[in-house]
Structure 1
């Protein structure tokens, strides 16, 4: 675990607000963040963000082209802030990405390699978005991977279940937040 980091991805106010979270994602993410902090594991927050005017967004990009001119996910947008339930501490890294994957348009790989991190624990919104894209790219970059199945959320529960039950296990260990926290506590003892 000494070379691991927890990635909390796209847990920003505007994104959280788009989901009906009856399942309690935020308390589980807070538990995961607390467990990581308790054993000194780095917590890295990944956010989507752009410069004013969204110059990084191509009109050909179906995911982000509707943002152009909106002011959303720029420096002054309160919706771009990390949700307070999992807010970073001053000493925690916040990585800004420009696309779906946490690696796309960011310095995440540099931060991880500089920290000697070779194992990523993935969580965030959405399972079929940032989690899937980051998992695929991280696997290609030879990171060891764990996905916190109930630390992820998707607008389509069936897609979430297929990804966490059938797709992700091909490249990652898939655990619940409680299982992972228990493993961390055992590691700490």
Structure 2
């Protein structure tokens, strides 16, 4: 059994699909321009070939948004926009990523995938010591995952070309801030071990 996992962070339709609410906005431009979906799929296929499990982390709330923090600047617009509703198309993993029944599904209600989710139990049950991760956005879920994973003594590896922010500058600034907490690689060079 491998002691690693690849966490694919917030790669859901509401955020990255061309037909989703962000598809024609800044995130959509970055996703297409940086080939985030294609690079993520390359990494997923490599991880599967190496026997490394995949965990899809998704942000979502009940239809009445009971878990949504009312004073959160980042989630305040979700209820108004009607996005991130669990059980709907918007919170499904993008179809081009090839999600499989055996993949882990980690649903979160905050930025960090560690907060009040099944992630820690999954990591412990499978003896995980190294977490590969990528997703959207670099300055939110990716940073939160790396910093918290680091502080929980996991070896953290970020696939930079499978991450983006709302702008190139936002992404680059976030990556610059992460270099002290993780190893940075990309979907072409990564070796899942």
Relative to the length of structure 1, the TM-score reads 0.90
Residue of structure 2 in register with 1:44 after alignment: 55
Residue of structure 2 in register with 1:19 after alignment: 28
Post-superposition CA distance 1:131-160 (Å, at most 9, x none): 011111111111110000101011121121
Residue of structure 1 in register with 2:168 after alignment: 157
Post-superposition CA distance 1:144-179 (Å, at most 9, x none): 100001010111211212322x32120101001111
Are the aligned partners of 2:8 and 2:54 in contact in 1 as well (CA < 8 Å)?
A: yes
| Number of residue pairs the alignment of both structures matches | 182
Query: Do the aligned partners of residues 162 and 65 (structure 1) sit closer, same or farther apart at CA in structure 2, a change above 3 Å counting?
Result: closer
Asked if 1:101 corresponds to 2:112, the answer is yes
RMSD: 1.6
Asked if 1:85 corresponds to 2:96, the answer is yes
Partner-residue secondary structure (3-state), 1:52: coil
Partner-residue secondary structure (3-state), 1:171: coil
Q: Provide the rounded CA distance (Å) in 2 between the counterparts of 1:172 and 1:148.
A: 10
Query: Do the aligned partners of residues 38 and 70 (structure 1) sit closer, same or farther apart at CA in structure 2, a change above 3 Å counting?
Result: same
Moved over 6 A (4+): none
Q: Provide the rounded CA distance (Å) in 2 between the counterparts of 1:32 and 1:71.
A: 31
Gaps of 5+ in 2: 17-22
Post-superposition CA distance 1:108-150 (Å, at most 9, x none): 1111111110110010000011101111111111111000010
Are the aligned partners of 1:71 and 1:77 in contact in 2 as well (CA < 8 Å)?
A: no
Relative to the length of structure 2, the TM-score reads 0.88
Asked if 1:2 corresponds to 2:2, the answer is yes
Q: Return the offset for 1:70.
A: 5.2
